[in-house]
Amino acid sequence: MAPVHRFSREKLLIAIIAAPAALACAPPDGEGEGGRSVLEDCLSECGSRFGPQDFRSAALPFDYTDYYAPEMGLDLMRLFVSFETLVDPGELSAIKRWTNELEERRSKGGRRLINLDPGLMALSRFVLATTKNRGQRIPLSDGIYAELTLLYGSGAWQPLPWTYPDYATPEYSAILSEIRRRSGEALKREERSRT
């Protein structure tokens, strides 16, 4: 029997879909100062929970599907944020439940303004957490599943038959490759700190 080892820590990233209302700053308060947007509030809460960001992509138009339109409206934007501190992959289910609660707290009239999909980046793969059960998804705990979304090999991200079309685009591949580079640097820092 092979010995059981701890999981290697992985890079946490959150793939965000934001409605226009989530990107707009709150109206000025009584002293004439504007508040932060729902997106900025959510990212601030994520920073309090997961530590400092080490990457934030530009906001890209999200027009690959109309799945979110009935709830979130049109003109949605996508961006990716990753965090400096690596996490234990065994925490993915708890992280997804927490981001779901954050989405709910920031909803308006029962409709989400923001969709937060946490994922884990290892040097060889990218995994997303989801609440939807499909054949290719592995149950974690408490109704959360993990989906192997992309593999990394031969110097590039490799989509799988079920990979969402946007994750197979050159734009997303470039973003995820930058996050992967940062993940490699973080792993080296952790390794040096242990020696």
Structure tokens at 157: 């991200």
Rounded to whole angstroms, the Cα distance separating 180 from 176 reads: 6
Domain assignment present for residue 144? The answer is yes
Domain assignment present for residue 44? The answer is yes
Domain assignment present for residue 117? The answer is yes
Buried b (16+ CB within 10 A) or exposed e, 32-71: eeeeebbbebbbeebeeebeeebbebeebebeeeeeeeee
Q: What is the pLDDT of residues 95-106, one digit of tens each?
A: 999 999 999 999
Q: How many domains in the chain?
A: 1
Q: What is the pLDDT of residues 36-94, one digit of tens each?
A: 899 999 999 999 999 999 999 999 999 989 999 999 999 999 999 999 999 999 999 99
Domain assignment present for residue 47? The answer is yes
The residue type of 65 is T
Instruction: Name the residue with higher pLDDT: 51 or 2.
Output: 51
Domain that includes residue 108, residue range: 11-194
Half-sphere exposure of 49 (CA within 13 A, CB side): 19
CB atoms within 10 A of CB 80: 21
CB 98 within 8 A of CB 106: no
Domain assignment present for residue 177? The answer is yes
Q: How confident is the model at residue 30 (pLDDT cuts 50, 70, 90)?
A: very low
Instruction: Report pTM.
Output: 0.91
Question: Which residues does 67 contact at the CB level (< 8 Å), separation at least 6?
Answer: none
Rounded to whole angstroms, the Cα distance separating 4 from 159 reads: 30
Domain assignment present for residue 5? The answer is no
Domain assignment present for residue 6? The answer is no
Domain assignment present for residue 123? The answer is yes
Q: Find tokens 């957490």 and name the residue.
A: 129
